[in-house]
A and B are shown apart, each in its own frame.
Chain A
Amino acid sequence: MAVYSLYVINKSGGLIYNRDFAEAARVDTNDSLRLASIWHSLHAIASQLSPVPGCTGIELLEADTFNLHCFQTLTGTKFLLVVDPHASFIPALLLRIYELYSDFVMKNPFYETEQVIKCELFDEAVEALVRRYLQQAQA
């Protein structure tokens, strides 16, 4: 049970926030920027390829060693969480992170929308939230 990393992608596909919770999860900076924009387009292609109308994009990607959960807000910002395949309650955790984003980033008067998030309070709150989640998961 582990949470590896968090990515926040703005509505045009740029990476605005990246945090790794495990050392091994660290990805090269250039690669993480590219991964973010690739995810943005894959998300759009997946809804285009949908055999049913009204598809809003990928919500969960399952791989051998990790699961990637994606939450897209109404404004097009995407929150990605890379977690262990056995982790549970991740969609709820993503919603909590979105709440923290609204509180600490969007309400920050010095934050310019769609720009890189540099906000200490958000960092701390996310860190605390993930720590609390892991403790609860172990208990």
Chain B
Amino acid sequence: MGCFNLYIFNRQGTCIYYHEWFRPKSVKQGAGTLADDQKQMFGLFWTLSNFCATLDPKDQTKPQLGTPRKIGQGCKFKSFTTSSYKCNFLEVPSGIKLVLNTHREAPDLTDVLQALYDDIFVEYVVKNPLYVPGQPFQSDQFVNALNAFLRQNGLLQQQQIMAAAS
């Protein structure tokens, strides 16, 4: 299985980190610019989480669509699958959101994303004394650890998605 790209958002919805492994369809053919692409991805996340909280079939007292929710409140969603890719989401209690686009046959990645947050993001970014929380960052150490982590979990077998896309 391969990965396409990774977005990390802070609690305000600003994209603090973006990494791309393989993206045959450029941003120009989609949202236009990278900043717009990131905003659109956050919008998709935001709307889907409201959508799920309102639709939740097991909750008798559904919130009305559009009522403000606290982080982690209501029904959360894990991923969506389209005809060509799978988009995996994780929101942690501090409001950091991870969005990882993978190959569409990827299994449930909730635990992998949680481990990515715990072992990579917290270790290499949050524990960095020079890092201001909630600000965009660039770190080679983080990138290396991220790649190693994904490879270890079998998520960076890029030739598969490259073959599928060509």
Give residues in A with beta carbon < 8 Å to B.
4-5, 22, 24-25, 27-28, 31, 34-35, 38-39, 42, 45-66, 68, 82
Instruction: Point out the residue from A24, A38, A57 that lies within 8 Å of B82, measured CB to CB.
Output: A57
Q: Is the Cβ of B84 less than 8 Å from the Cβ of A55? A: yes
Nearest residue (CB) in A for B7 is A49
Nearest residue (CB) in B for A56 is B83
Interface string of B41-82 (1 = CB under 8 A from A): 101100110011011111110101100000000011111111
Q: Is the Cβ of A24 less than 8 Å from the Cβ of B55? A: no
Q: A50-B85, A61-B77, A62-B78 are in contact. Are A24 and B30 (CB under 8 A)?
A: no
- Give the interface size class of chain B: 35 or more
Q: Is the Cβ of B82 less than 8 Å from the Cβ of A42? A: no
Q: In the A-B complex, list the 7 residue pairs whose CB atoms are closest, starting with the nearest.
A: A63-B77, A25-B57, A51-B4, A4-B57, A55-B84, A60-B81, A53-B25
Nearest residue (CB) in A for B165 is A52
Q: Is the Cβ of B101 less than 8 Å from the Cβ of A51? A: yes
Q: Is the Cβ of B31 less than 8 Å from the Cβ of A48? A: yes
**Residues of chain B lying within 8 A (CB to CB) of residue A39:** 51
**Residues of chain A lying within 8 A (CB to CB) of residue B25:** 50-53
* In the bound complex, CA of A63 to CA of B43 (Å): 17
**Residues of chain B lying within 8 A (CB to CB) of residue A56:** 82-84
**Residues of chain B lying within 8 A (CB to CB) of residue A28:** 62, 64
Nearest residue (CB) in B for A5 is B57
Q: Is the Cβ of A64 less than 8 Å from the Cβ of B75? A: yes
Instruction: Point out the residue from A59, A66, A68 that lies within 8 Å of B83, measured CB to CB.
Output: A59
Closest chain A CB from B143 CB (angstroms)? 18
**Residues of chain B lying within 8 A (CB to CB) of residue A51:** 4-5, 20, 22-25, 85, 101
* In the bound complex, CA of A68 to CA of B48 (Å): 12
* In the bound complex, CA of A46 to CA of B64 (Å): 24
Closest chain B CB from A40 CB (angstroms)? 12
Q: A31-B65, A62-B77 are in contact. Are A22 and B57 (CB under 8 A)?
A: yes
B119 within 8 A of A: no
B29 within 8 A of A: yes
